[in-house]
Amino acid sequence: MPQGVQIHARVQGAQSDILSEPALAFLVALHRTFNPTRLALLDARDVVQQRLDGGEQLDFPSETAHIRADPSWVCAPPAPGLEDRRVEITGPTDRKMVINALNSGAKAFMADFEDSNSPSFQNMLNGQVNLRDAIRRQIDFEQGGKQYKLTEKPATLIVRPRGWHLDEPRITVDHQPMSGSIFDFALYFFHNAKELIARGSGPYFYLPKMEHYREARLWNDIFNFSQAYLGIPLGTIRATVLIETLPAAFHMEEILFELRHHSSGLNCGRWDYIFSFIKKRRLDKTAVLPDRKDVTMESGFMDAYVRLLIQTCHKRRVAAMGGMSAQIPIKGDAKANEVAMAKVRADKLREVTAGHDGTWIAHPLINKIAMDVFNEHMLGPNQYHVRREEVVVTPKDLLNSSVPGKITHDGVKSNASAALAYCAAWISGNGCIPLNFLMEDAATAEIARVQLWQWVYHKARLDTGHPITASYVEGVLREVASNVKSLVAGVQDKQIAIAVEYMISQVKADRASDFLTSDLMPYLEALDGGKWIKSSL
Ligand SMILES: *[C@@H]1O[C@H](CO)[C@@H](O)[C@H](O)[C@H]1NC(C)=O
Ligand SMILES: *[C@@H]1O[C@H](CO)[C@@H](O)[C@H](O)[C@H]1NC(C)=O
Ligand SMILES: CC(=O)N[C@H]1CO[C@H](CO)[C@@H](O)[C@@H]1O
């Protein structure tokens, strides 16, 4: 073990190949070089939040006006396997899912260590093992008479590491927890970059939840360092940044600029964006939103951000990726299924006609629907020529919170139920659950959590005039708790009880927490058979 490293959880079987001595040495080098910057950038987020709490409004940064005004710079050309991204499938990294997603017919698979994954150490390490084996085509297996086998031309693999705010508390370096982002990125890169290049692909990433262009600069510095460390050419890595926080919408050009040697575009992370919109403007009474189902892509602030993202990406010649429709197929009810699939089709049509170069799906059976829409309306590999020069998006547009809709008892109830079900599942080691035929991940659960907080904090009222008080929401949470077991397979009473207490404490809090995934992290300890140190956050 390199000096200064400690592992605080059980590591067994193939997992120990992932945490090999040279891989740990790489983690240590990255941690010592870059973790101080990460911590400083997280502190800077708090400073921005305090200013917003004090009534300041977000704006495009003045110090980088010259970067936005300079038409001459463009991003790196598409790397092998990323030339045409019309449909990308996303999902966690279990072995079966990895095979099904790579075989789905989608152009790319975003293998997710982030919001659709519960970050128990077992999940993180097994995911690395599965990706390593998939890249080397050593992943085929048989179970219950069924063959799981990679096809000849699997999707291009893109990996999403955790965001900057998450620690990896099971590994400490010099008694400090590692960064979850660095851990996920580094292990995947270290074990697979050369193999991917040799097979005609490359190390590709999706980068989540950034809030400032300096956070993109940190990623770029890590990319340069890592490519030099392994001796592969600078500019081999590609990264698509999810624009899914409100502050990042004001930094789109700067984020592309920082990553321009490694950028493969931006993506509209719509669910986290709604979550961030509520959270960043938590004290702003004018930002209170109606029921989650009313906050659609046509809402003023959502529409403005989509248009600005497409315009920005095409100006800099990279992909403007669309987002996820959460609908999944409804088996055994043809009529309901047709309604759900029509929603997916309409959403994909909106994206392709707006100028997006590709979109996301959460289920293999949706691939054909999305593919048909894009094939019909996007004839070449991308739509970079759709420049959207007519688009003018102002800060006011990005902050336009006038969304038609109401807050209803049903809205409170279904959000309470979604938040509880998700938190309970997450604690049990599952980060992605189908609920009422929608795929819920951490981002959608986060919307439910902060909406409940926002309505209580701002003393909002239901459409009936009934005040939304903490005790009313507490009553709803306790009432719907009894249904959670029937909603999600495999959760235990203890986990539901933790979720209920957590959500009640959130609703009553003076401020909702930043992330449920940080708050609930200590409960995952039980799954890892070890006693790891508490997260530093
Ligand atoms: C990172 O690498 C690129 C080449 O891909 C180079 O142009 C750039 O200057 C490097 N950045 C830093 C901060 O070293
Ligand atoms: C805000 O967005 C709505 C669409 O949801 C739009 O009708 C309205 O004109 C916008 N308001 C302003 C001030 O631009
Ligand atoms: C009415 C409303 O907005 N309810 C949403 C709350 O969250 C659940 C969980 O996914 C959704 O299904 C509802 O649409």
| Residues 416 and 368 both lie in one domain | no
> In 3D, which of 151, 134, 92 has the Cα closest to residue 116?
92
Shortest-distance atom of ligand 3 to CA 417: 9
CA of 389 to the centre of ligand 2 (A): 20
CB neighbour list of residue 209: distance below 8 Å, 6 or more residues apart: 163, 164, 165, 242, 244, 245, 272
Q: Which amino acid is at 292?
A: R
537 located within any domain: no
Domain boundary among 397, 415, 438: 397
* Ligand that lies nearest to the alpha carbon of residue 220, given by its number in the listed order: 1
Other residues' Cβ atoms within 10 Å of the Cβ of residue 84? 18
Segment 19-32 mean pLDDT: 98
Shortest-distance atom of ligand 1 to CA 223: 1
For the stretch 294-324, pLDDT in tens is: 999 999 999 999 999 999 999 999 999 999 9
Among protein residues, the one with the nearest Cα to ligand 3's atom 1 is 411
For the stretch 171-214, pLDDT in tens is: 999 999 999 999 999 999 999 999 999 999 999 999 999 999 99
The pLDDT value given to residue 536:
33
Show the ligand 1 pocket: residues with CB < 6 angstroms.
Answer: 221, 224, 234-235, 261
The pLDDT value given to residue 537:
28
Q: Is 405 in the pocket of ligand 2 (CB under 6 A)?
A: no
Of all residues in the chain, what percent carry a pLDDT higher than 70? 98
Provide the token pair at 398: 């990005």
Domain boundary among 397, 423, 446: 397
Q: Are 181 and 20 in contact (CB under 8 A)?
A: no
For the stretch 409-463, pLDDT in tens is: 999 999 999 999 999 999 999 999 999 899 999 999 999 999 999 999 999 999 9
Range of lowest pLDDT (58-62, 74-78, 362-366):
362-366
CA of 300 to the centre of ligand 2 (A): 5
CA of 287 to the centre of ligand 2 (A): 13
Segment 500-511 mean pLDDT: 98
Segment 520-535 mean pLDDT: 71
Rounded distance between C-alpha atoms, residue 330 and residue 324, angstroms: 17
| Residues 476 and 340 both lie in one domain | no
Among protein residues, the one with the nearest Cα to ligand 3's atom 9 is 418
CA of 293 to the centre of ligand 3 (A): 6
532 located within any domain: no
Provide the token pair at 323: 């987002």
State how many domains the chain has: 2
Segment 224-243 mean pLDDT: 98
Residue from 286, 400, 403 whose mutation best tests the ligand 2 pocket (most atoms within 8 A of CB) = 400
Q: Is 436 in the pocket of ligand 3 (CB under 6 A)?
A: yes
Rounded distance between C-alpha atoms, residue 348 and residue 87, angstroms: 10
Q: Is 393 in the pocket of ligand 2 (CB under 6 A)?
A: no
Q: Is 291 in the pocket of ligand 3 (CB under 6 A)?
A: yes
| Residues 90 and 54 both lie in one domain | yes
CB neighbour list of residue 489: distance below 8 Å, 6 or more residues apart: none
| Residues 180 and 79 both lie in one domain | yes
The pLDDT value given to residue 530:
57
For the stretch 108-152, pLDDT in tens is: 999 999 999 999 999 999 999 999 999 999 999 999 999 999 999
Segment 82-86 mean pLDDT: 98
| Residues 366 and 412 both lie in one domain | no
* Ligand that lies nearest to the alpha carbon of residue 227, given by its number in the listed order: 1
Shortest-distance atom of ligand 1 to CA 233: 5
Q: How far is CA 482 from CA 141, 254, 420, 421, 506, in A?
A: 38, 48, 10, 10, 19
| CATH code of residue 103 | 3.20.20.360
Q: How far is CA 491 from CA 97, 412, 487, 523, in A?
A: 20, 22, 9, 13
Range of lowest pLDDT (58-62, 162-166, 232-236, 435-439):
435-439
* Ligand that lies nearest to the alpha carbon of residue 300, given by its number in the listed order: 2
Degrees, nearest 5: CA angle 309-312-318: 95
| Residues 291 and 336 both lie in one domain | yes
For the stretch 380-423, pLDDT in tens is: 999 999 999 999 999 999 999 999 999 999 999 999 999 999 99
Q: Which amino acid is at 34?
A: F
* Ligand that lies nearest to the alpha carbon of residue 286, given by its number in the listed order: 2
423 located within any domain: yes
Cα dihedral value 185, 187, 188, 189, nearest 10 = 80
The pLDDT value given to residue 525:
80
418 located within any domain: yes
| Residues 125 and 230 both lie in one domain | yes
302 located within any domain: yes
Cα dihedral value 93, 95, 99, 102, nearest 10 = 20
Q: Is 435 in the pocket of ligand 3 (CB under 6 A)?
A: yes
| Residues 364 and 492 both lie in one domain | no
Provide the token pair at 514: 């930043």
For the stretch 251-292, pLDDT in tens is: 999 999 999 999 999 999 999 999 999 999 999 999 999 999
Q: Is 438 in the pocket of ligand 3 (CB under 6 A)?
A: yes
The per-residue pLDDT of the chain, averaged, comes to 96
Shortest-distance atom of ligand 2 to CA 298: 5
Catalytic option among 160, 162, 316, 449: 160
Shortest-distance atom of ligand 2 to CA 400: 1
For the stretch 470-497, pLDDT in tens is: 999 999 999 999 999 999 988 999 999 9
Among protein residues, the one with the nearest Cα to ligand 3's atom 10 is 418
Segment 499-510 mean pLDDT: 98
Q: Is the pLDDT of residue 27 over 90?
A: yes
Q: Is 84 in the pocket of ligand 3 (CB under 6 A)?
A: no
The pLDDT value given to residue 405:
97
Question: Which neighbouring-strand residues pair with 142?
Answer: 147
Rounded distance between C-alpha atoms, residue 106 and residue 368, angstroms: 9
The pLDDT value given to residue 532:
56
Rounded distance between C-alpha atoms, residue 468 and residue 453, angstroms: 10
Among protein residues, the one with the nearest Cα to ligand 2's atom 12 is 400
The pLDDT value given to residue 527:
78
Provide the token pair at 361: 């799906």
What's the pLDDT band for 528 if we cut at 50, 70, 90?
confident
The pLDDT value given to residue 1:
86
Q: Are 157 and 201 in contact (CB under 8 A)?
A: yes
Other residues' Cβ atoms within 10 Å of the Cβ of residue 501? 11
| Residues 308 and 353 both lie in one domain | yes
* Ligand that lies nearest to the alpha carbon of residue 328, given by its number in the listed order: 3
Provide the token pair at 414: 């279904």
Among protein residues, the one with the nearest Cα to ligand 2's atom 8 is 300
Shortest-distance atom of ligand 1 to CA 224: 1
Q: Is 402 in the pocket of ligand 2 (CB under 6 A)?
A: yes
Other residues' Cβ atoms within 10 Å of the Cβ of residue 478? 14
Domain boundary among 397, 415, 449: 397
Residue 452 backbone phi and psi in degrees, to 5: -60, -45
What is the separation of C-alpha 172 from the centre of its chain, rounded to a whole number of angstroms?
25
CA of 56 to the centre of ligand 2 (A): 21
| CATH code of residue 481 | 1.20.1220.12
Q: Is 65 exposed, middle or buried (0-12, 13-18, 19+ CB in 10 A)?
A: exposed
438 located within any domain: yes
Q: Are 415 and 460 in contact (CB under 8 A)?
A: no
534 located within any domain: no
Is residue 441 annotated as a catalytic residue, yes or no? yes
Degrees, nearest 5: CA angle 66-314-309: 80
Segment 71-76 mean pLDDT: 98
Q: Are 368 and 31 in contact (CB under 8 A)?
A: no
| Residues 323 and 282 both lie in one domain | yes
| Residues 15 and 67 both lie in one domain | yes
> In 3D, which of 212, 163, 181, 209 has the Cα closest to residue 47?
212
Q: Is the pLDDT of residue 55 over 90?
A: yes
| Residues 128 and 172 both lie in one domain | yes
Q: Which residues span the domain enclosing 219?
A: 5-397
431 located within any domain: yes
Catalytic option among 441, 449, 519, 528: 441
Among protein residues, the one with the nearest Cα to ligand 2's atom 3 is 300
Q: How far is CA 358 from CA 88, 140, 379, 523, in A?
A: 7, 29, 12, 37
Q: Are 216 and 241 in contact (CB under 8 A)?
A: yes
Q: What are the E-state strand segments in 37-92?
A: 87-91
Q: Is 297 in the pocket of ligand 2 (CB under 6 A)?
A: no
CB neighbour list of residue 142: distance below 8 Å, 6 or more residues apart: 148
Q: Are 11 and 125 in contact (CB under 8 A)?
A: yes
Provide the token pair at 231: 């001796």
